[in-house]
Amino acid sequence: MKRTRLFGFLFVILLGLAAGLSYGWILNPAEVRNTSLDSLRSDYQADYVLMVAEIFAVDQDLPAAAQLLKHVSPVGPSRAVQESLITGQQLNYSIQEMLTLAGLEIAINSEVPLLAQETP
């Protein structure tokens, strides 16, 4: 009796799993939308800017970093880094991460006229 009950229980669980996956993947799949990075929550934007800052710390390519930051903040790369510094402070980023962000901000602010000419 116990073996039949266990087999029936597992069968119903697997049947429910198969039905749920079939409904979610075949009958009613989620729509894929092209969204921009500026629609992300501020903590995800700060993580993206931190990744850009880490890339910049390695290769020192300021125009490439500015181009990547335009995806997060169409206003300008300096604004994106400033907002990320504030968000990072609120989220208790490590000192190393804050210094990496600050290094990118210093580089951007020292090259603002150059960046304005290079980006269309």
- Whether residue 50 sits in one domain with residue 20: no
Q: Find the domain containing 89 and state its range.
A: 37-118
12-36 pLDDT, tens per residue? 999 999 999 999 999 888 887 777 7
Comparing 15-19, 56-60, 77-81, 111-115, the range with the smallest average pLDDT is 111-115
pLDDT of 118 higher than 80: no
pTM of the entire structure? Answer: 0.68
- Whether residue 87 sits in one domain with residue 47: yes
- Whether residue 44 sits in one domain with residue 23: no
Q: Of 64, 74, 71, nearest to 104 (Cα)?
A: 64
Provide the number of structural domains found in the chain: 2
CA gap 45, 40 in Å, rounded = 6
pLDDT of 37 higher than 50: yes
- Whether residue 107 sits in one domain with residue 71: yes
